[in-house]
Amino acid sequence: MKNLLILGAGTAGTMMANHLRKQIDLNQWSISIVDEEPQHYYQPGFLFMPFGIYEPADVVQPKKKFVGKGVEYIQASIDRVDGDHNKVLLQDGNELPYDILIIATGCHPAPEEVEELTGSGWGKDVHEFYTFEGSSKLAEAMKGFNGGKLVVHIAELPIKCPVAPLEFAFLADWWLGQKGIRNKTEITYVTPLSSAFTKPTASKMLGHMLEDKNIRVVTDFNISEVDHQAKQMKSWGEESVDYDLLVTVPPNMGSEMVDRSGLGDELNFIATDPHTLQSKAHSNIFVLGDATDLPTSKAGSVAHFQAEILTENILSYMKGDALNARFDGHANCFVESGHNKAILLDFNYEQEPVPGTFPLPGIGPMKLLRESRLNHIGKMAFRWVYWNVLLPARPMPGISPHMTKLGKEIPKKPKQPNAA
């Protein structure tokens, strides 16, 4: 019996376990998945909790519930991977041998990386919403907020779901209007980027939306510290931004286990082949989801598309065949814009988000890079899809892991002049 071991029972790891248990011979291969946390969180829901759209019970379920038959679930803390000897060492002293290892340990906010961010105001007038605990505390703070300077801030990239801070700003604009205090609130969006988003066409549209909603934008802001007494963020460029309520996205880092294993970069992200999802350090280690160093969004849709590609490559690896399945960096996401509307983005390594229709070319029914109520409905319906389709690795007809250019309004490249 050979051993296939998965580290991490979050979105990526759970999908991989459920894909593989349906397609490999469980008489020849055992599948085990290791995670230290018993609860599975629907992380996109953290965005909605501060506005009372979701309650805590809407975003949490037991991890074991989604690990299907034929997969052994091990709740334990991981010390490190010994890639030279094909084993994983647990913090309780036990060792788990493997023939194939899949790392899906994700990433997490690391507020301690910013000087004084977790000082006296942390959890009071300085909050994050990328964890269940952080989002829950922010929900309480929002209930007591009666106007003033609301600052939405990104410390540095990469982060999980790069559009979530923009969504928070848009939802805050809507929510404060519903509460009757939008005219008493100055919303400022602070980013280390030179524009609203990483992709030019989408950035232009999203930038206009921030302007239309009277949300002030501060770009190229590289935070150096937070002064909790003065309620002020400071940058290395000697700029400062005042706040009454600061909603920050701290630096995101991979698992500390990755660092102890010697597999990661300075942020503990693992060097991964961008197309095969094979580790660059060991041929029998594969990586997906937020744990990779790939130049694509750290988002659930990416993990979903990667899982389908990686399943093919794992099956090929088991047979000793070439890894022919190719991940193209496909990502799509709904950007909640407030007032029961949302925008849909669909892109990959090579193609930035552009207008068009999704998922059917020319038909849709959803519109790309355009605000619509249908996109909002899609965003809200995704929670059911996540629990009932994505995690159990059930098929999603019409949704391919490869991005299609059909239905997209891609600008034609200008012709190059003939050489003299």
Residue type, 399: I
Residue 88's beta-bridge partner residues?
A: 81, 96
295 neighbors 343 (Cβ within 8 angstroms): no
The stretch 408-415 carries a mean pLDDT of: 82
Residue 420: the pLDDT is 46
- Residue range(s) of every CATH 3.50.50.60 domain in the chain: 2-108+255-319, 111-252
56: burial class by Cβ within 10 Å (0-12, 13-18, 19+)?
middle
Superfamily of domain 2-108+255-319: FAD/NAD(P)-binding domain (3.50.50.60)
Q: What mean pLDDT is predicted for residues 97-105?
A: 98
Instruction: Report the percentage of the chain scoring pLDDT > 90.
Output: 93
Task: Provide the residue type at 49 as one letter.
Answer: M
Model pTM score: 0.95
SS3 66: helix
- The predicted-structure confidence for 178-203, as pLDDT tens digits, reads as follows 999 999 999 999 999 998 887 788 88
Rounded to the nearest angstrom, the gap between the alpha carbon of residue 297 and the centroid of all alpha carbons in its chain is 6
Q: Region 17-38: what's the mean pLDDT? A: 97
Whether pLDDT at 419 is above 60 = no
- Top CATH class, 111-252: alpha beta
Cβ of 360: how many Cβ atoms within 10 Å? 13
Q: Distance (Å, rounded) from C-alpha 52 to C-alpha 142?
A: 9
Give the distance from CA 338 to its chain's centroid.
20
Query: For 88-102, 115-129, 190-204, which range has the lowest pLDDT when averaged over its residues?
Result: 190-204
Under a CB-based contact definition with an 8 Å cutoff, are residues 18 and 103 in contact? Answer: no
pLDDT at 362: 85
As a whole number, the mean pLDDT across the chain is: 96
Task: Report the amino acid identity of residue 73.
Answer: Y
Residues 6+ apart with CB under 8 A from 298: 107, 158, 159, 160, 161, 162, 252, 289, 290
Fill in the DSSP letter of residue 122: B
